[in-house]
Amino acid sequence: MTEQVSYSGPQRIFSGIQPTGNLHLGNYLGALKKFADLQDAGWEGIYCVVDLHAITMPHAKGALADQTRQIAAAMMAAGLDPDTSTIFVQSSVRAHTELTWIFNCVARMGWLEKMTQFKDKSGKDSERASVGLFDYPVLQAADILVYKATHVPVGEDQKQHLELSRNIAARFNQQYDVPGFFPLPEGLIEGPGARIMSLKDGTKKMSKSDPAETSRINLIDDTDMIAKKIKKAKTDTLGDMPETMEEMAPRPEVANLVGIYAALAGMSDEQVLAEYGGKGFGTFKPALAELAVEKLSPITKKMREFLDDPAEIDAAMAKGAEKANAVAAPIIEEVRRVVGFWQV
Ligand code: TYM
C-alpha cells in the first residue's frame, strides 16, 4: 500500500532478536554488527530482546531468562551502548501486546496466510502450531510501530514480515482516517551479510534451528571450533577460487564463504576475489578462519564478561525498559484515542 500523506515525525530505528538458541554469524553480520554501526553513525535506536516471540514455539521451561540475558550480553558485546541506545526486553513493555491486539483487528487473514516463515516453522502439521506462531508477524509490526520506528535493520529473511508491517501501518492510517499517523517502516537490509548461508549447503540460510552444528559458526564458539568449522565447510569440485563474479555465480557454497570474508573485512566480494581468485581453498580457508577469529573473539570475550555479571545486564535492561516505555506510552495513548476507546 502507498500513502498520500507521509509520516513527518523523527527518524528512529527499531530491531529485535529472539532469545532462542545460540546466536550465529548470520545474526552477527545480518543484525548485531549493523546495529552497532548505525548507533555509531548517530541514529536513535531501540533494540529489543523479543521474548514474547520466543514463546510462539515450544521452549524449555526456565530457559527463557538465561537466553534473554545472553542476547542482551551479545548486543552490548557487539557494541551497543545502553546509555546511547535503548536496549530492553520486550515483555517488560506492555504496550507491545496492547498494540498487537489492535493490529490483529487491522491485519487481514489473507495477509498472514501468505507468510512463508509460518509455513516453514509450522511444517506439515500447521493445525497443531500455536495461534501465536501464526500471529507472530502482527506482534512484530506492533514492536516497530509502538515506537513509530521508521527504519528496521534486519537480515533478508525478515523482508516479508517488514512488508506486512508496512501494510498494517498503511491500513491503520486509512481505516481510522489518520493519514501519516504511523510511518511505513523501511528495512535496512542491503549490504554484505544480509543473507549468510549454511556452511553445509549454500542454498539454505544459516539458522539457529539447523540440527547440524557444523552448519553455523556460533558467537560462543572458541577459536579452535571456528577454525574447524571453516576447514570443514562445504565447497565444490569446480577447482580453485573463482576469479570473477561470473565464475562464482554457479558456486553457492564458495559465494557464501567469499561473502562472509567480505562482510567481516568490510570489503566487497570483488575485492576478495581480486585477492584470492585462482588460489586454492588451502590458502583461502585458513585466511577466512583467521579473520573470523580476529573479528569474533573480542565479542565472545566481552559477551562472557557481561554474562559473568548478570546484575549489570539486568540493571541495563531495567533502564532500557524505562526508556522504551517513555517512548511507547504516549504513542499507545494516541492510538487509543484514534481507535476511539473509552477514555479513563
Ligand atoms: P531472529 O531472532 O531469527 O534473527 C535476528 C536477526 O538476525 C538476522 N538473521 C540473519 N541475517 C543474515 N543471515 C542469516 N543467516 C540470518 N539469520 C538471522 C535476522 O534477519 C534478524 O535481523 N522476527 C525477528 C525478530 C523480531 C524483529 C522485530 C526484528 C521481532 N520483532 C521487529 C525487527 C523488528 C526474528 O525472528 O529474528
pLDDT at site 2: 56
Contact indicator for 206, 198 with CB cutoff of 8 Å = yes
Pocket of ligand 1 contains residue 187 by CB under 6 Å: no
User: Which CATH code of 3.40.50.620, 3.40.1180.10, 3.40.50.970, 1.10.760.10 fits the domain covering 13-188+310-339?
Assistant: 3.40.50.620
**Distance (Å) from CA 97 to ligand 1 centroid:** 19
Pocket of ligand 1 contains residue 263 by CB under 6 Å: no
Which residue owns the Cα nearest ligand 1 atom 18? 27
Instruction: Report the candidate in 253, 50, 80 with the shortest Cα–Cα distance to residue 161.
Output: 50
pLDDT at site 1: 57
Q: Where in the chain is the domain with CATH 1.10.240.10?
A: 213-304
pLDDT at site 344: 79
* pLDDT tens readout for residues 153-192: 999 999 999 999 999 999 999 999 999 999 999 999 998 8
**Distance (Å) from CA 272 to ligand 1 centroid:** 26
pLDDT at site 117: 94
Pocket of ligand 1 contains residue 140 by CB under 6 Å: yes
Ligand 1 pocket check: which of 12, 13, 17 to mutate, most ligand atoms within 8 Å of Cβ?
A: 17
**Distance (Å) from CA 159 to ligand 1 centroid:** 10
**Distance (Å) from CA 131 to ligand 1 centroid:** 20
pLDDT at site 4: 65
The model's pTM: 0.96
Catalytic residue annotation: 121, 205, 208
pLDDT at site 171: 98
User: What single letter denotes the amino acid at residue 266?
Assistant: G
Ligand 1 pocket check: which of 27, 47, 134 to mutate, most ligand atoms within 8 Å of Cβ?
A: 27
pLDDT at site 343: 86
Which residue owns the Cα nearest ligand 1 atom 29? 16
Whole-Å CA distances, 249 to 145, 245, 252, 254, 255: 38, 6, 7, 9, 7
pLDDT at site 3: 62
Pocket of ligand 1 contains residue 242 by CB under 6 Å: no
Instruction: Give per-residue burial for 3-23: e unless 16+ CB within 10 Å, then b.
Output: beeebeeeebbbbbbbbbbbb
**Distance (Å) from CA 231 to ligand 1 centroid:** 27
Atom of ligand 1 nearest to the CA of 155: 20
Q: Class assignment of domain 213-304? A: mainly alpha
Pocket of ligand 1 contains residue 192 by CB under 6 Å: no
* pLDDT tens readout for residues 309-338: 999 999 999 999 999 999 999 999 999 999
Pocket of ligand 1 contains residue 215 by CB under 6 Å: no
pLDDT at site 125: 85
- Binned average pLDDT, 10 residues per bin, the chain of 344 residues: 79 97 95 97 98 93 93 97 98 98 98 95 90 98 98 97 98 98 97 94 94 95 95 96 97 97 96 97 96 95 95 97 98 98 89
Pocket of ligand 1 contains residue 24 by CB under 6 Å: no
Pocket of ligand 1 contains residue 93 by CB under 6 Å: no
Contacts of 253 (CB under 8 A, 6+ apart): 197, 201, 202, 233, 234, 235, 236
| C-alpha cell at position 220 | 560462543
Q: Where in the chain is the domain with CATH 3.40.50.620?
A: 13-188+310-339
**Distance (Å) from CA 344 to ligand 1 centroid:** 37
